[in-house]
Amino acid sequence: MTKRGANQPISYPIFTFRWLAIHGLAIPTIFFLGAITSMQFIQR
């Protein structure tokens, strides 16, 4: 990411509502995908 001094002086916060919405959905999704794929290889 290039840092612009005069063109874009506004520094946006990291924890925006969009960040919380994306990570609040993406982290459980990746967790459940990993759990489901690992269940495929468990032999009973």
Q: Which amino acid is at 29?
A: T
Binding residue numbers: 23
Binding residue numbers for heme: 23
Between the alpha carbon of residue 26 and those of residues 16, 21, 37, the distances in Å are 15, 8, 16
Q: How far apart are the two ends of the chain, measured CA to CA in Å?
A: 49
